[in-house]
Amino acid sequence: MYFMANTGIPINFGISVVLGFVVGTAISGLLFYQFAQDNLKHFGSLKAMGASSGLLLRMILLQSLTVGLIGYGLGAGAAAWMGRSAGETELAFFMPWWVLAGGGAAILLICILSALLAILKVIRLEPAIVFKS
């Protein structure tokens, strides 16, 4: 408790956690947006064949949520495994339910926002542009 009350360790640790969250959010959102950018020609082809914007919207959301769920499961599982494998050491491992729920909500928000950015790009896409090159 001395370190918690008399040093800057909790503040530095909190800043590190927030910074890691912001950087992770930015990277995962940009990666999914880039994935949609890379597949614009495929979405354009589907649109040219008659796929509705609603169908493309559902496809992109399903992809985003699937990737987010897999990533969340692997990340939470790896964190729990690493914490439990440390055994009974001086470093305590504590993962309450609200940490997992908060992480899951953050991942869901990131997935939806990045999917919405990709959806806007796909909805504005003109199908004929795919066949120009």
pLDDT band at 70 (very low <50, low <70, confident <90, very high): very high
Supply the pLDDT for residue 40: 82
Q: What is the pLDDT of residue 77?
A: 92
Per-residue pLDDT tens digits for 107-128 = 888 888 888 888 888 888 887 7
Q: What percent of the chain has pLDDT over 90?
A: 9
Instruction: Give mean pLDDT, residues 13-31.
Output: 85
Burial of 6 (0-12, 13-18, 19+ CB in 10 A): exposed
List the domain boundaries for the chain.
Answer: 28-131
pTM more than 0.85 = no
